[in-house]
DNA sequence: AGGGCCCATCGCA
DNA sequence: TGCGATGGGCCCT
């Protein structure tokens, strides 16, 4: 827990485009995490990020549909433990009711297909990836698409080149074309909750090894507002001793947020890790708890 | 084909 | 806390 706090504090170095809602949220989350022991009052957090309490309140309502207090509550370790503890029951129940897969209330509906290594490496010359940066509730997002659908979502914390290198390095043989106009509809579909609809599922292509694809597909089964654990996913895949391998595969998920790797926690409820920063993972979980209660 | 090393894990002393 | 087991991915021979 203490280590986690230290790790979070260390992330403060990275700047994010100023003036956006997420910039305030990020700083609030960092501050609250760094001072969780004291349980700071909302007034103090607002002052820290440079807003009046009422502006702070308003911003959170706009950003997540939550009051700052509820958001704060959603970030506690106990709450995370609850997410994990309840997840299997809820998941089992929804499976029994036939509600799983591409048909859950209030979730981002994702229709996926898989592209195995053989398919994209050997024929790799053909893979064209269009990319562009877009504002999102979680900062500046890098969106990548193939003709078959969304293949990548990453985030920039002030260094677009680094974010691009991170994503592009995953498919070294592909041809990359900057094309904001064609990535824009994907960004809106993914990040604007009003556009989430079963009639208009987000088309996604999973590019990875067979094992990675099995792990990523299982992430799509975790309902919004819930969480699962690495160990439990391993068990569900029929490989109960492969929790760590699951962790590695989750960490390689190229389609951040849309394939909800942020909904995987350690068995203790600890956040463990997130490729794009633990602060962002917390923000996503808090934001989603607003989506569920809305 | 196989060794070595990394990893967003876990459980036990 | 600290450590060993663990499975997959990647890079090197």
User: What pLDDT does A294 receive?
Assistant: 53
Closest nucleotide (C1' vs CA) to A249 is C8
- A7 CB contact with strand B at below 7 Å: no
Closest nucleotide (C1' vs CA) to A211 is C8
In this predicted model, what pLDDT tens digit does every residue of A222-236 receive, in sequence order? 989 889 999 999 999
User: What pLDDT does A88 receive?
Assistant: 52
Residue A42, sorted as left (phi over 0), alpha (psi -120 to 50) or beta, turns out to be alpha
To the nearest whole number, what is the mean pLDDT of chain A?
A: 84
DSSP string, A116-146: -HIIIIITGGG-EEEEEEEEETTEEEEEEEE
The whole-number average pLDDT for the span A52-59 is 94
B5 C1' to A248 CA distance, Å: 14
User: What pLDDT does A125 receive?
Assistant: 63
User: What pLDDT does A133 receive?
Assistant: 97
Please state, in angstroms and as integers, the Cα–Cα distance from residue A44 to each residue in A21, A27, A106, following that order: 18, 13, 32
Confidence band (pLDDT; 50, 70, 90) for A99? very low
Domain locations in chain A as residue ranges: 77-293
The whole-number average pLDDT for the span A69-88 is 74
In the block, tokens 């990535």 appear at A183
In this predicted model, what pLDDT tens digit does every residue of A5-16 receive, in sequence order? 444 444 433 333
> Does residue A1 carry a pLDDT above 80?
no
Confidence band (pLDDT; 50, 70, 90) for A123? low
- What is the spatial distance between Cα A234 and Cα A246, in angstroms, rounded to a whole number? 6
- What is the spatial distance between Cα A245 and Cα A110, in angstroms, rounded to a whole number? 24
Confidence band (pLDDT; 50, 70, 90) for A94? very low
User: What pLDDT does A86 receive?
Assistant: 60
The whole-number average pLDDT for the span A125-135 is 90
Residue nearest to nucleotide C5 (CA to C1'): A241
Percent of chain A whose pLDDT exceeds 70: 83
B5 C1' to A30 CA distance, Å: 33
> Does residue A57 carry a pLDDT above 70?
yes
Which residues are in reach of strand C, CB within 7 A?
A 208-212, 239, 241-242, 244-245, 247-249, 252
In this predicted model, what pLDDT tens digit does every residue of A148-180 receive, in sequence order? 999 999 999 999 999 999 999 998 889 999 999
- Do residues A195 and A189 lie in contact, with contact meaning Cβ atoms separated by under 8 Å? yes
Q: Which nucleotides of C are covered by protein (CB under 7 A)?
A: 5-10
> Does residue A122 carry a pLDDT above 80?
no
B6 C1' to A248 CA distance, Å: 10
Closest nucleotide (C1' vs CA) to A264 is B8
Q: Which residues of A are catalytic?
A: 261
In this predicted model, what pLDDT tens digit does every residue of A235-244 receive, in sequence order? 999 999 999 9
- CATH of the domain spanning A77-293: 1.10.10.10
> Does residue A97 carry a pLDDT above 60?
no
B1 C1' to A142 CA distance, Å: 39
User: What pLDDT does A119 receive?
Assistant: 79
User: What pLDDT does A87 receive?
Assistant: 58
Confidence band (pLDDT; 50, 70, 90) for A189? very high
User: What pLDDT does A150 receive?
Assistant: 97
């Amino acid at each position: 827990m203490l280590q986690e706090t230290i790790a979070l504090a260390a992330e403060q170095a990275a700047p994010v485009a100023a003036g956006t809602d997420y910039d305030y949220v990020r700083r609030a989350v960092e501050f609250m995490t760094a001072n969780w022991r004291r349980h700071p009052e909302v007034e103090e957090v607002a002052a820290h990020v440079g807003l009046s309490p009422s502006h702070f309140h308003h911003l959170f309502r706009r950003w997540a549909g939550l009051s700052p207090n509820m958001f704060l509550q959603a970030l506690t370790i106990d709450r995370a433990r609850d997410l994990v503890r309840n997840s299997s029951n809820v998941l089992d129940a929804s499976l029994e009711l036939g509600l799983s897969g591409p048909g859950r209330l209030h979730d981002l509906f994702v229709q996926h297909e898989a592209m195995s290594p053989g398919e994209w490496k050997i024929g790799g010359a053909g893979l064209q990836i269009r990319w562009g940066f877009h504002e999102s509730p979680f900062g500046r997002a890098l969106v990548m698409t193939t003709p078959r659908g969304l293949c990548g979502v990453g985030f920039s914390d002030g260094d677009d080149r680094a974010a691009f290198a991170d994503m592009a390095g995953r498919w070294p043989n592909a041809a990359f074309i900057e094309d904001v106009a064609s990535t824009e509809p994907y960004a809106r579909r993914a990040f604007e909750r009003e556009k989430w609809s079963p009639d208009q599922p987000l088309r996604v292509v999973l590019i990875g090894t067979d094992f990675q694809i099995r792990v990523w597909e299982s992430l799509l089964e975790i309902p919004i507002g819930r969480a699962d654990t690495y160990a439990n996913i391993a068990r569900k895949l029929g490989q109960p001793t492969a929790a760590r391998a699951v962790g590695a595969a989750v960490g390689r998920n190229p389609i951040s947020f849309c394939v909800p790797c942020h909904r995987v926690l350690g068995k203790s409820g600890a956040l463990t890790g997130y490729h794009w920063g633990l602060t962002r993972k917390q923000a996503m979980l808090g934001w989603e708890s607003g989506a569920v209660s809305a």
